[in-house]
Amino acid sequence: MSAGVELNLTLILFLPWFLILSVLFWVYPRQPRTLARRAYDVAALLVSLALFLASVYWAQAYADPAAGKMWKQILATALGYAVYLGAMTVAFVVRWLWLRRTGDGQGPG
């Protein structure tokens, strides 16, 4: 396996799942679709991806080589996935509180 693929294997494997989660984050709730909401969503997705990549590269750099070559990938996968989900959860909760506070996310009625 080439060094580039090995370094980015976690991202390659999780990309379809992250795409699904990102689309769901972007689409729901459907309203409001203000410029501020779109900017927040883009920033949240980019920060989540950046934190994922940083955690993956950190895990691969600091994994104990005595545990074997696969341990780097296992640690990077577990840590990266947890960091991405954590960042997206924080982004979702902050957006929900923000929309609730502004009254824009309350729906009909």
For residue 109, being part of any structural domain is answered with no
Confidence of residue 109 (pLDDT cuts 50, 70, 90): very low
For residue 69, being part of any structural domain is answered with yes
The pLDDT tens digits for 20-59 are 999 999 998 888 888 999 999 999 999 999 999 999 889 8
* Residue 106 clears pLDDT 60, i.e. is over it: no
The boundaries of the domain holding residue 65 are 3-102
Please state, in angstroms and as integers, the Cα–Cα distance from residue 75 to each residue in 7, 24, 103, following that order.
12, 27, 42
**Domain tally, the chain:** 1
For residue 27, being part of any structural domain is answered with yes
For residue 33, being part of any structural domain is answered with yes
The dihedral over CA atoms of 43, 21, 86, 39, expressed in degrees to the nearest 10, equals 10
The pLDDT tens digits for 64-101 are 888 877 788 888 888 999 999 999 999 999 999 998 88
